[in-house]
Structure 1
Amino acid sequence: MFRPLSLFVGLRYSRAKHKNKFVSFISIASILGISLGVMVLIVGLSAMNGFEKALRDQLLSVIPHVELEVVNGSFNDLESSLRTVESNPHVLGASPYINLSGLLQKDTKMKALQIRAITPETEDRVTEIGQYIEQGGWELLTAGEQQIILGKNVAKQLGLTVGQSLILLLPQPSRGNKLKPPRVIPLTLAGIFEMGGQVDSTLGFIHIDDAQKMLGLSSANAIAFKVDDILDAQKISREVGYSLPDYMYIKSWITSQGYLYQDIQMVKSLMYVILLLVVAVACFNIVSTLVMAVNEKRGDIAILKTMGASTWSLRFIFIVQGAFNGLVGSVIGAIAGSYIALNLTAIIKTLEAVIGHKILSGDIYFIDFLPSELNVDQVVVVSSLAFLMSVLATLYPAWRASKIQPAQELGYSH
């Protein structure tokens, strides 16, 4: 089978044992360095992709994309406002609600909580918390029954089970220097939801009709809606908010949770830069390997020149040799990185079981597991960049090889 001289000799040099053991060691170190850099970069990017997916699919599935809250009182014409919101082509669904903060009490145990009074019939158009409710959905909330649905962590802290009663303490506005005692409202635990992360510890849900009676409102004081493009939520929120006559606060998920998305993007960018520098350091080993290989093969190069090998043929020999190391390192790194990325969540769970400690706490982060999502395009890009950097590292040694003078080398050999 015909093979170009440069390819044949370059591959032969790549597989041949070097007289100098140190050259062989540096050659292996360069392959391992490139493999390690590519592997870590793929695993790191996959973890960041996983966090981004968890943010999009989990956190943003239970937190409304946009919230419009009236500054004082409630909407003058709730039905008309809802129709205006839903008429926007970027709005997928809307639901009225009321926000309130209170203190839950069960015997001597107390817990401060953000309570969301929702409309059970339309809440599923905006969030997907209903699917995380154990033994039912929003139908567990009945108007006039003074019921509440709590996160599993809150129920556990208060020592509550479904069907038990508890007390909600609502603050009342003070008059002058006199502080009013909080309103005491008896509630019944109708259901428990569990989705993992902070939401389980910070949110509770009651029926909107009950909240209206508690606060003396004529209708809802806020509307939540879901948009078709979550990254454009801020723009859409202003567009919809300005179309309504009421004076209101306009909030999107970017206002409350956008820092998470920005942090993920920043870490991904830094990871690209830092770990590609690790690969670049590994590629410098290729330079060292080839410089020493050129010095070792000076006689061979001189003979090839006298036999008519062109300058570029000689250069390609060492480009092939260095590129072979880069290719092997990139392929090994890509395979190892892809395997670890695909099994990262299971690996971390096993590690947590061994050390007996959770790496990600649901009380601090919005998830309690390390997510991972492998992106094939990123694997190709990272591997290609590592290979390209290894090829670039061969240019100087290859140029040095082409400058060897046959007369001097062969003359010295005699």
Structure 2
Amino acid sequence: MFRPLSLFIGLRYSRAKHKNSFVSFISMASILGISLGVMVLIVGLSAMNGFEKALRDQLLTVIPHAEVEMVNGTFADINTSIKRVEATEHVLGATPYISLSGLLQKDTKMKALQIRAINPDTESNVTEIEQYIQQGSWQLLQSGQQQIILGKHVADTLGLTIGQSLKLLLPDAQSGNKLKAPKVVPLTLVGIFEMGGQVDSTLGFMHINDAQIMLDLNSANAIAFKVDNILEAQNIARAVGHSVAEYLYIKSWITSQGYLYQDIQMVKSLMYVILLLVVAVACFNIVSTLVMAVNEKRGDIAILKTMGTSQWSLRAIFIVQGAFNGLVGSLIGALAGCYIALNLTSLVTMFEKIIGHKILSGDIYFIDFLPSQLDYQQAMVITLLAFVMSVLATLYPAWSASNIQPARELGYSH
């Protein structure tokens, strides 16, 4: 089978044992270094992609994309206001709500909580919290029954099960600065949701009509809505604010949770740069390997030159030898990285069981597991970049090899 001379000799040099065992060690170290760099970069970026996906697909299915809230009082005509919100470009759906903070009490146990009083009939237009309800459903949340749906963490903290009663302590709005006993509202637990993160311990849901009675309101004082482009949520919220003829606070997930997205993007960028530098350092081992290989093969190079081998063919021999190391290292790293990235969540879960401790706490982070999403295109780019860097690392030794003088190496005089 025909093979170009440079490719044949380059591949043969790559597989051959070196006279100096240190050269073989450096060669293996370069392959291992490239493999580890590529593997860690793919796994790290997959984890960041996973966090980004979890933020988009989990947290933002529970937290509304954007909201408008009355500065004072309630909407004069909530239905008209909702129609105006839904008529705004890029808005997919809207629902009224009332936000209130209180203290839940069950016997001697207490838990502070943010409660969203929602309309069960239209809440699915904006959020998908219903898919996380493990026990009960929106249908059980009836007007006038003083019922509540809580996160699993809150229910466990208070020792509650479905159907049990508890109390909600609300500050008296009329008390001003005077010390006054809180308003006590009896509630019944009709549902438990579990998303697996901070939301489970900070958020509860009740019927909007019950909240209106508790707070003595005529209507809802806020409207939540869903948009078609979450990264433009703040701008769309401003457009909604201009379309509604009320004095409003304008909020979006970017103002409340945007730091998470920015942190993920920053870590992803830093990781990309830092770990590519790690791969670059590993590629410099190829320079050391080839420099020593050229010194070892000086006689062979001189003989090839006397036989008429061109300078470019000689350079290509050592470029092939170094590129082979880079290719092997890049492919091994890519395969290992892809495998770990695809199984990262289960591997970390297994590790957590072994050490008996959770790496990510749902009380601190918005999720309590390490997510991963492998981007094959991203993995291909990383592998290609590592290979290109390894090829670039071969250029200096290859040029040095082509400048060897046959007469001097073979002992002939001028």
TM-score with structure 2 length normalisation?
0.98
How far did 1:160 drift?
Answer: 1.3
Quick one: which amino acid aligns to residue 384 of structure 1?
L
Residues in 1 aligned to 2:86 and 2:339: alpha-carbon distance in whole angstroms = 45
Q: Say which SS state the counterpart of residue 301 (structure 1) adopts.
A: helix
Residues in 2 aligned to 1:196 and 1:146: alpha-carbon distance in whole angstroms = 26
Q: Is the 8 A contact 1:126 1:225 kept in 2?
A: yes
The one-character-per-residue Cα deviations of 1:353-399 (angstroms, maximum 9, x if unpaired) are: 11111111111111111111111001100000000000000000001
How far did 1:177 drift?
Answer: 4.9
Q: Is the 8 A contact 1:96 1:220 kept in 2?
A: yes
Please name the residue that 1:291 is paired with: 291
Do structure 1's residue 409 and structure 2's residue 409 form an aligned pair? Answer: yes
Please name the residue that 1:253 is paired with: 253
Residues in 1 aligned to 2:124 and 2:25: alpha-carbon distance in whole angstroms = 62
Do structure 1's residue 180 and structure 2's residue 161 form an aligned pair? Answer: no
Q: Is the 8 A contact 1:173 1:180 kept in 2?
A: no
Of stretches 176-185 and 108-117 in structure 1, the one that deviates more from structure 2 is 176-185
Residues in 1 aligned to 2:353 and 2:169: alpha-carbon distance in whole angstroms = 40
Q: Is the 8 A contact 1:133 1:193 kept in 2?
A: yes
Q: Is the 8 A contact 2:38 2:382 kept in 1?
A: yes
Quick one: which amino acid aligns to residue 104 of structure 1?
L
Q: Is the 8 A contact 1:131 1:137 kept in 2?
A: no
How far did 1:215 drift?
Answer: 1.0
Please name the residue that 2:380 is paired with: 380
* Distance of aligned partners of 1:176 and 1:340 in 2 relative to their CA distance in 1, 3 Å threshold: closer
Q: Say which SS state the counterpart of residue 318 (structure 2) adopts.
A: helix
Please name the residue that 1:32 is paired with: 32
How far did 1:176 drift?
Answer: 6.0
Residues in 2 aligned to 1:363 and 1:120: alpha-carbon distance in whole angstroms = 27
Provide the aligned length of Structure 1 versus Structure 2: 413
Residues in 1 aligned to 2:176 and 2:253: alpha-carbon distance in whole angstroms = 37
* Distance of aligned partners of 1:8 and 1:176 in 2 relative to their CA distance in 1, 3 Å threshold: closer
Residues in 1 aligned to 2:412 and 2:265: alpha-carbon distance in whole angstroms = 59
List runs of 5+ in structure 2 lacking aligned partners. Answer: none
Do structure 1's residue 206 and structure 2's residue 206 form an aligned pair? Answer: yes
The one-character-per-residue Cα deviations of 1:116-163 (angstroms, maximum 9, x if unpaired) are: 000000001111111212333211111001111111111111111111
For 1:231-250, list aligned pairs within 5 A: 231-250=231-250
For 1:159-198, list aligned pairs within 5 A: 159-173=159-173, 175=175, 177-198=177-198
Show structure 1 runs of 4+ deviating over 2 A. 173-180
Q: Is the 8 A contact 2:198 2:362 kept in 1?
A: yes
TM-score with structure 1 length normalisation?
0.98
Residues in 1 aligned to 2:271 and 2:184: alpha-carbon distance in whole angstroms = 52
Residues in 1 aligned to 2:72 and 2:104: alpha-carbon distance in whole angstroms = 25
Q: Is the 8 A contact 1:29 1:285 kept in 2?
A: yes
Compute the RMSD of aligned alpha carbons.
1.2
Identity %: 79
Please name the residue that 1:101 is paired with: 101
Residues in 1 aligned to 2:16 and 2:348: alpha-carbon distance in whole angstroms = 40
* Distance of aligned partners of 1:173 and 1:412 in 2 relative to their CA distance in 1, 3 Å threshold: farther
Q: Is the 8 A contact 1:151 1:194 kept in 2?
A: yes
Q: Is the 8 A contact 1:174 1:180 kept in 2?
A: no
* Distance of aligned partners of 1:364 and 1:177 in 2 relative to their CA distance in 1, 3 Å threshold: closer
Quick one: which amino acid aligns to residue 74 of structure 1?
T
Q: Say which SS state the counterpart of residue 242 (structure 1) adopts.
A: helix
